[in-house]
Amino acid sequence: MDFSSFKELLLRKTDDESLKTLIKVIDGNVLADRIIESLEKMATSPKKVSKVANEAIKDFATRMDPQNGPELLREALGHHASRYKAALDAGDKKMANHHASTFFKTMDLVHHLEPLTHGKLQSDLIDIKPWERTHPSRTETFADKIARDPEYAKNNPVTRGKKKLHHFRIDTEGFSFRPKGNDWSFLQNDPDTIQYGKEISRHGHIGAYPMEHNKINGKYIPIESVENIYDGKMNHPFDSHPIFGHFKQPSEERTDGARDAEYSAQRKQFERLGLDAHDARMQELKDSGAYEARGLKPGLQIHPTSRRQEAGKTITPTSSEPALPEYLKDLAQPAHPAVTQTAAQPSTKVITRKMSDKDKAKAILPPHLHDLLKD
């Protein structure tokens, strides 16, 4: 198959007019290089590998038993979600925050770990970002900051043309987010549908954050009733695994091997002493016949306001550009505003010409990529 017939195949596969224009005019060798590059990324991993992957987390992923490893992570998440719910129901906010913090610390580990396990660990996690955006530390826009601090208005990403006034000053972090004061009450907010409407429509969850709908290897995390939150079982055996103290440290900070040796020694000690309670609990479930059905359906609902939208219903974001106060409107104007034509001015005949495919492509691509187009 030559490039012309391959391009015809690509053109039949897309309805996007801009993409069609690029396919028509891009140099054949450049197109081939980009496709090979994309295929190499797909072959490497279905998900982006963590930038901070060090020897500790690689070791954890390599040693993971494909049956017991995911089960251990799922049970740990279920333990803290169950006790988070019970603490909320009991009105103990401090304990609820403790369990929420440990829950998302484990979610963060799963998120970083999954791409390194070569398919042994497969998660279906509901991103916390739509809810994180409602946290007070994540709601300030550049317009808000300029209103509070006039001095800031002189030199900031808006005046430098990199951001708009309605953009948020601080990006969301996802599962790595740790709220100030360890206050996780924002989980009970409705998610931000302006910024994350498409994502919310995809997973279908609105209202408070739905912990109970997260999955590990196709099974929901188990949410169970906890009668006594002060029964001395606050922690799960997995909480003491040394991986929590190692997996976020970048490799370039571990070059002398001391931290890796430390992790190896801690791991061996944990494997000797740390899993007895978990193993006993799993055996108890197997003996009772409750093990096989565990996780096949969502467990108890964590937050009363969590709900799923109707199938096929989409979230329609409202405008993300709120009206600006008068003293900020000058910043929002273009650097060279267009001259408006008044009724007193004579009308001007505008002559237009049909743009070529190459001209259209240049309009789509930034200038530094124009050399990718064929002559």
CA–CA separation, 259 and 48 (whole Å): 25
Query: Confidence band (pLDDT; 50, 70, 90) for 339?
Result: very low
For residue 183, give the amino acid letter. Answer: D
CA–CA separation, 241 and 235 (whole Å): 12
Q: What is the pLDDT of residues 17-75, one digit of tens each?
A: 767 787 887 877 777 767 766 665 555 444 444 455 899 999 999 999 998 999 999 99
Which strand (E) or helix (H) includes residue 40?
helix 28-44
Cα angle, residue 194 at apex, residues 142 and 200 outer, rounded to 5°: 135
Burial 271-309 (b: 16+ CB within 10 A, else e): eeebbeebeeebeebeeeeeeeebbeebbebbbeebeee
Whether 312 shows a pLDDT value over 70: the answer reads no
Kindly list the domain boundaries of the chain, sorted by start residue: 1-44, 55-308
HEC string of 274-298 equals CCHHHHHHHHHHHHHCCCCCCCCCC
Query: Confidence band (pLDDT; 50, 70, 90) for 333?
Result: low
Q: What is the pLDDT of residue 173?
A: 96
Query: Is the distance from CB of 203 to CB of 126 less than 8 angstroms?
Result: yes
Residue 151: count other Cβ atoms within 10 Å of its Cβ.
8
DSSP for 335-373?
SSPPPPPPTTSPP-PPP--PPPHHHHHHHHS-GGGGGGB
Residue entry with tokens 């408006």: 340
Q: What is the pLDDT of residues 123-159, one digit of tens each?
A: 999 999 999 999 999 999 999 999 999 899 889 999 8
The pairing of strands 205-206 and 215-216 is: unpaired
Measured CA distances, 260 to 57, 105, 248, 255, 365 (Å): 10, 21, 13, 9, 45
Whether 358 shows a pLDDT value over 80: the answer reads no
197 contacts: CB under 8 Å, gap ≥ 6:
314, 315, 316, 317
324 contacts: CB under 8 Å, gap ≥ 6:
143, 165, 332
Whether 94 shows a pLDDT value over 50: the answer reads yes
Instruction: Find, among 220, 250, 215, 248, the residue nearest to 122 by Cα.
Output: 215
Q: What is the pLDDT of residue 80?
A: 98
CA–CA separation, 63 and 60 (whole Å): 5
Whether 1 shows a pLDDT value over 70: the answer reads no
**Range of lowest pLDDT (46-50, 84-88, 188-192):** 46-50
Query: What is the separation of C-alpha 347 from the centre of its chain, rounded to a whole number of angstroms?
Result: 52
Calculate mean pLDDT across residues 326-354: 48
CA–CA separation, 9 and 20 (whole Å): 11
Whether 111 shows a pLDDT value over 80: the answer reads yes
Residue entry with tokens 């995911």: 70
Length of the chain in residues, anyone? 375
Q: What is the pLDDT of residue 212?
A: 97
Whether 262 shows a pLDDT value over 90: the answer reads yes
Calculate mean pLDDT across residues 274-289: 91
Averaged pLDDT score across all residues of the chain: 84
Residue 123 bridge partners (DSSP): 216
Structure tokens at 79: 């333990």
Instruction: Find, among 124, 123, 126, the residue nearest to 64 by Cα.
Output: 123
CA–CA separation, 373 and 375 (whole Å): 7
Q: What is the pLDDT of residues 202-245, one digit of tens each?
A: 899 999 999 999 999 999 999 999 999 999 999 999 999 999 99
Q: What percent of the chain has pLDDT over 90?
A: 61
